[in-house]
Amino acid sequence: MNQFVLKQDSSEELRLFPHILELGIVKNTSIRLNAFPKISVDGIKIFTVLEGKFEWCINNGLFTLFPNDVAVILPGQEFGSSNGVLEIGSYSWIHLNVQRKGSNELVMGLWSSLSESECNAISKILLANESPILSKFIDGAKILKLIQTELANQELGYHARVNHFIDELFILITRQLTKQSNPGRDFPKTFMDLEQALRQNLSHQWTVEEMAALVGLGTTLFNEKVKSYSGFSPINYLINIRISEAIKLLKRPGISLTDIALDTGFYSSQHFSTTFKKLTGYTPSEFRKNHLSKK
Amino acid sequence: MKCIVTIELGTNAVRVFAFDLDGNIIGSLKGYYPTFHTQPDYSEQDPDQVFLTMLYVLKNLLNETIYPKKYKVACICFSSYMHSVLPVDKHGNPLGYAITWSDTRAKKESYELKSSSAGKTIYKATGTPLHPMSPLIKIAWIKNNDKDRFKQTSKILPLKSYIIQQLTGEYMVDYSIASATGLLNIHKIKWEPDALKFAGIKENMLPDLVPVFTSAGKLKKAYQTSLGLSADTKIIVGSSDGCMAILGDGVSGNGVATITIEDSGAVRVMGDKVLQDEKQRFFNYLLTENCYVSGGPTNNGGIIFEWFTRQFGDFKNPFDIDHSMQELINDALKVPPGSDGLIFLPYLLAERAPIWNPNARGVYFGLNIKHEKTHFVRATIEGILYEIYSIGKTLEEHRNIKSLSINGSFGTMPFCTQMVADIYNKPVRLRQNFHSVSFGSFLLSATEMGIYKSLDEAAKKVVLTDLYLPDKQNHKKYMQYFKIFERLSTKLAPEFEEIANLQ
């Protein structure tokens, strides 16, 4: 395919796709100086190398990319060549208007047909991921090519298909990322990472699917691994952390029971109270009285 | 029908067992709790999470197994890992997290005490090696480095004492756990004034010192109700995991040593005398009056082979490390004993007994062009077990060891058990899927209930069914390499220090 660039503000093809900021292929036949400076990326950029070899700087790390390698640059990350040089070779990319909300959420937009919890899991995995490179990820190039073809031919249903392909791209990238981290190899470490993620965002209404996706396992296998490792189902383990944290907060005067309940992820103070009593034998207020009255 | 419940507070998880009065297992459950490493040397646990996990697991076992089978709980007996430190304020509320045995932040305090003359006297009196693991030294660290916390501290509790206090309101510590604090004079069974002075605390900051059979008072009303236990359920303070493991293996007198190899490992003997060692290589813990459990601990047990498997194992079936370990062991079988001269020093986590060198590091030695991956596998396992042997060998300078028992998930893999028998040149007994620590707690409880007259008699109840006999040829082979292993372990000390400083 020849090189081309579609841009949101100038290309008619993108009129129906306000979330696609840019899409294109670059074929570079001679080394060009100052052609590829480092910039801070707004939105998400996904690159796949088609030919040649590129040395790119992503989020302060230096990476060498070969054909079929895919780079994922997230909102706010620095991206470019460290000395501004564009090497010989070709690559294709898509630039999407997907923004970050808070520290661990990405907002996809109405075009996406991902469910809220799927989207949530995908954002968490992308944002928690440390290496922006997926090596030998052929699906990346394939999907970008499909998107380009749909946009060029504009046949019946291309609007829906393009958006589906973008979803597909996110899904496959995320699956690949979790495979790369190979959670079964060191499950104790995987479990520790999970514990940390849960504690950092304890007020979130975690689902098992989200937790499983975060460590890159299917739900059934995840359930099984967690049960055999911890003795608890994932949800019961989470409740365990919630109550342990609540105990600490209850010992501090000045935080209301409702605040404690919500901070530790219970959906109401009633829900908190029942669960707490079931486990500890005391209601939260009894527990608090026992520990504060001594003071 | 009556039953006995045992609760083992382990390093990573609580294990709750229910036994009928004949010692048959009715049911068991475990619950994991995390260890936090907020700084490289730190290793801490949330006491409330440990307590909650224990409650949760206990409750599940009661409701899922014990009550449906119509058992009534006669007593609950505790055991736990040693050397934990939890300061609490005057209301009994924890000041921060509990510091676990593997925390090494107090290196400086440890070094200071070890190189002083007071250190020698304190070791003699307390039997606990002077090492960052020792509560004595950890408390001194808090005193020197966390002054605010120290000032607010009203009591210092081992984790198990906190758990029991939550249940019954009583502050108690049993002889075994107390004897692992470095603060107890194990000859007089009294807190040692010199040790208290070094730690900077007074006797009244420690829980009441009681024998392992002591009942720790009544369960609080709320727990009676939520757990469905009657007010007369006895809560027995119990002992430490180390003492329970040797009791659970049925060792009661001379001539037998018990080897435990889980992540870490230990070799232990039991006797009526303290094992005095000029080089301060051993611990001496107290089970009951005049009954001492002595031995040496290693940091580098099964965890080292797990490390090796993670680096070099086959993960084509990605989700099972046990499977990969087994594959590697099959590889190791293809290599003759001694690994054709490849020797491994397993000190990836530095080492305690017998070299007590916090700077020790791992070494593969004797590598030549003919060695293959399979040699590394076998050498790694041999290295871990040479280390276990080197502890036993130093114990033999003091005690006569005729046979061995072995427990722990790594030690009881048949390949490892046979290798232990060959290296030691002694018969080794074990029972597969046997939980020595919990069974020890059962024996202790049953003795308290009068089912057995004494722990001695109770220990005789244990039958270890599997026997591994040593192969003399293999033993000879191993000894040729062990000589070199042993020399290297001390010879490299200056290089260990230099490389540790660079890391």
Domains in chain A (CATH in brackets) are 4-181 (2.60.120), 191-295 (1.10.10.60)
Interface residue B223 vs chain A (CB under 8 A): yes
* CATH code of domain B249-430+471-503: 3.30.420.40
**Chain A residue closest in CA terms to B320:** A184
Is-contact B158 B211, C-beta < 8 A? no
- β strands within A2-88, DSSP E: 4-7, 20-28, 39-40, 44-52, 54-58, 61-65, 70-73, 78-80
Q: How many Å apart are CA B138 and CA B113, to the nearest integer?
A: 12
Is-contact B324 B311, C-beta < 8 A? no
Nearest-neighbour CA in chain B from A179: distance (Å): 10
Q: How confident is the model at residue B40 (pLDDT cuts 50, 70, 90)?
A: confident
Q: What is the pLDDT of residues B178-226, one digit of tens each?
A: 999 999 999 999 999 999 999 999 999 999 999 999 999 999 999 999 9
Looking at domain B2-243, which of 2.60.120.560, 3.40.50.300, 3.30.420.40, 3.30.450.90 is its CATH number? 3.30.420.40
For residue B215, with 0-12 CB atoms within 10 Å meaning exposed, 13-18 middle and 19 or more buried, which class applies?
A: middle
**Chain B residue closest in CA terms to A225:** B319
Calculate what percentage of chain B has a pLDDT beyond 90: 88
State the average pLDDT over residues A120-132: 83
Q: What is the pLDDT of residues B139-176, one digit of tens each?
A: 999 999 999 999 999 999 999 999 999 999 999 999 99
Quick check: helix, strand or coil at residue B2? strand
What is B189-215 written as a DSSP string?
A: TEE-HHHHHHHT--GGGSPEEE-TT-B
Q: What is the pLDDT of residues B482-496, one digit of tens each?
A: 999 999 999 999 999
Contacts of B58 in chain A (CB under 8 A): none
Q: What is the pLDDT of residues A197-213, one digit of tens each?
A: 999 999 999 999 999 98
Nearest-neighbour CA in chain A from B398: distance (Å): 39
* Cβ pair B318:A240 closer than 8 A: no
Q: How many Å apart are CA B71 and CA B4, to the nearest integer?
A: 9
Calculate what percentage of chain B has a pLDDT beyond 70: 99
β-pair type (A78-80, A39-40): antiparallel
Range scoring the smallest mean pLDDT among A47-51, B90-94, B314-318: B314-318
pLDDT computed for residue A142 by the predictor: 94
* Cβ pair A182:B318 closer than 8 A: yes
- Residues carrying CATH 3.30.420.40, chain B: 2-243, 249-430+471-503
Chain A, chain B: beta-carbon pairs less than 8 Å apart:
74
Nearest-neighbour CA in chain A from B89: distance (Å): 11
Radius of gyration for the alpha carbons in chain A, expressed in angstroms and rounded: 24
Q: How confident is the model at residue A295 (pLDDT cuts 50, 70, 90)?
A: very low
Which of B91, B310, B318 has the CB atom closest to A294's CB atom?
B91
Q: What is the pLDDT of residues B361-402, one digit of tens each?
A: 999 999 999 999 999 999 999 999 999 999 999 999 999 999
pLDDT computed for residue B352 by the predictor: 93
pLDDT computed for residue A1 by the predictor: 59
Q: How many Å apart are CA B73 and CA B229, to the nearest integer?
A: 7
| Position B334 pLDDT exceeds 60 | yes
Quick check: ipTM above 0.95? no
| Position A220 pLDDT exceeds 90 | no
Q: How confident is the model at residue A239 (pLDDT cuts 50, 70, 90)?
A: very high
Helix (H) or strand (E) holding A259: helix A257-263
| Position B317 pLDDT exceeds 60 | no
Is-contact A272 A282, C-beta < 8 A? no
From the list B458, B457, B428, the residue with the least C-alpha distance to B441 is B458
Residue with tokens 């707490």: A276
- CA A40 vs. chain centroid, Å, equals 19
| Position B318 pLDDT exceeds 60 | no
Q: What is the pLDDT of residues B213-265, one digit of tens each?
A: 999 999 999 999 999 999 999 999 999 999 999 999 998 777 899 999 998 99
Give the pair of three-digit tokens for residue A292. 């504060």
| Position A293 pLDDT exceeds 70 | no
Which DSSP state fits B36?
B
